[in-house]
Amino acid sequence: MTLATWLTFVLAAAIIAISPGSGAVLSMAHGLSYGFKRTSATILGLQVGLLMILTIAGAGVGSLLLASEVAFNAVKIIGALYLIYLGISQWRAKVETNSSQRESIAVTEVPSWQRRVMTGFLTNATNPKGIIFMVAVLPQFITRDADLLPQLLILAVTMCTIDLIVMHSYAFAASSMQRYFRNAGAMKKQNRFFGGVLIAVGAALFFVKRSPS
């Protein structure tokens, strides 16, 4: 892999990471609800899911998945339903009021570290749009006459590093707005907003089509 090829991949990965998607929505939702530090667990899960998709695409399994109508639709439906489930959960998230301080402050129940990691992982791992991108774009940056594994490792580290920075930026931006959502009414509104967005993204996945064979 040449330096020019790698720099081109850096640009492509940055554009993909910055583009609004389920991972970005989840990072912002958790950042606003749970704070910046706690959202790191969610983002870790997103990276594990991203690595799984990259490995599948690099191994050629992704091409087989796209070639099978049944397999692709199964992944698509699971991913769509999971995002809709997350959206409904976010919409219905309990908001408790902590009145021990001078002012009443709304507090959202924080899931366990393991659950936040799993939520991030499943969000990326069941995203058919991510699989389509990896299968369609990844081969363009791989030199056929060179060892595959070192190239995949370089691309994986590059993509995850960029995605980590971008997702943490989204989470930080959202968490910095927490002071404006300290009462129960405002927190319910933000939960319903992000819940609605996740539901909409999940519903949109039903219309994703596999690449023509």
Q: What is the pLDDT of residue 121?
A: 93
Give me the chain's average pLDDT, please: 77
Q: Distance between CA 44 and CA 134 in Å, rounded?
A: 19
On the question of pLDDT at 79 being above 90, the answer is no
Residues 57-81, mean pLDDT to the nearest whole number: 69
| Structure token pair of residue 65 | 């998945």
Contact call for residues 133 and 16 (beta carbons, < 8 A): yes
Tens of pLDDT, residues 123-148? 888 877 677 777 766 767 777 777 77
On the question of pLDDT at 105 being above 60, the answer is no
Domain locations in the chain as residue ranges: 3-205
Q: Which residues neighbour 183 within 8 Å (Cβ) at sequence distance 6 or greater? A: 104, 105, 106
Nearest alpha-carbon partner for 32 in 164, 180, 162: 180
Helical pair 184-205 and 22-34, crossing angle rounded to 10 deg: 160
Contact call for residues 125 and 9 (beta carbons, < 8 A): no
Q: Distance between CA 33 and CA 147 in Å, rounded?
A: 44
The model carries a pTM of 0.71
On the question of pLDDT at 212 being above 90, the answer is no
What are the backbone angles phi and psi of residue 202, rounded to the nearest 5°? -60, -45
* pLDDT band, residue 181 (cuts 50/70/90): low
Q: Distance between CA 41 and CA 118 in Å, rounded?
A: 9
